[in-house]
Amino acid sequence: MNTTPFRQSWILFAVLFGLCAGCDSVDSVRTTMQDRISAVAPKARTVSGDKHQVFEAARRAMEKCGYQFTGGGAAQGRLDGLTRIEGGDDLRSSRQRAISIDMDDLDGGRVDVHVKIKDIVEGDFGRSAMPATETPVRDPAVYDAFFDEIEHQLKTPAAEQGRL
């Protein structure tokens, strides 16, 4: 009995099935590799105020959005923060977000604010020595909400800020 044509058709079927079934995963791998290879530009917005005012507003906005201040300063024009570590669904992985903010003084009492937000995911750390993966957040709504909070903090009178 000659089974060669059957084997060949089975192999062809398996290859085609693998290619079709893996289309989404191939796109996901391609996107992940692009994120790691090409740097994602920070999102920027220009706000009114001096650098110290904008720094304090950005620090309060970070806290309001769930970030804890981890470094930076007004003189440096930089802020860094992290959210709390959250356990994954399987309790063997963890997730958190990092934010990095840079500020540049402009003429006329304005400041350019540049923001980068990354998702940090650590997989099953008991089974693997792989480091955590960092993926840039690309959703413009996340950045818009943060910039809106900075502008809200800049407009809030100092007396009300103490009560928040």
Residues 18 and 50 both lie in one domain: no
Same domain, 109 and 151: yes
Number of domains in the chain: 2
Give the pTM.
0.70
Q: Are residues 153 and 137 in the same domain?
A: yes
User: Can you give the CATH number for the domain in which 62 is found?
Assistant: 3.30.310.80
Query: Are residue 77 and residue 51 in the same domain, yes or no?
Result: yes
If asked whether residues 64 and 6 sit together in one domain, one would say no
> Is residue 87 located within the same domain as residue 18?
no
Q: What share of the chain is helix, strand, coil (3-state, %, to 5)?
A: 40, 30, 30
Strand partners, 119: 97, 135
Can you tell me which residue has the tokens 């923060």? 81
**What token pair was written down for 134?**
């960092």
Distance CA 35, CA 31 (A): 6
Q: Which domain holds residue 48?
A: 41-163
**Residues 68 and 140 grouped into a single domain:** yes
Alpha carbon of 67 to those of 53, 126, 135, 143, 162: distances in Å?
A: 19, 27, 17, 14, 19
Do 105 and 135 reside in the same domain of the chain?
A: yes
Q: Angle CA(66)–CA(119)–CA(70) in degrees, nearest 5?
A: 50
pLDDT of residue 157: 72
User: pLDDT tens-digit profile of 4-54?
Assistant: 666 666 566 655 555 555 555 555 555 555 555 556 889 999 999 999 999
- Are 23 and 50 part of one and the same domain? no
What the block records as the tokens of 159 is 């007396």
* Same domain for 25 and 73: no
83/107 same-domain check: yes
Same domain, residue pair 99 and 49? yes
The model's pLDDT over 119-145, given as tens digits with 9 standing for 90+, comes to 998 876 555 566 778 999 999 999 999
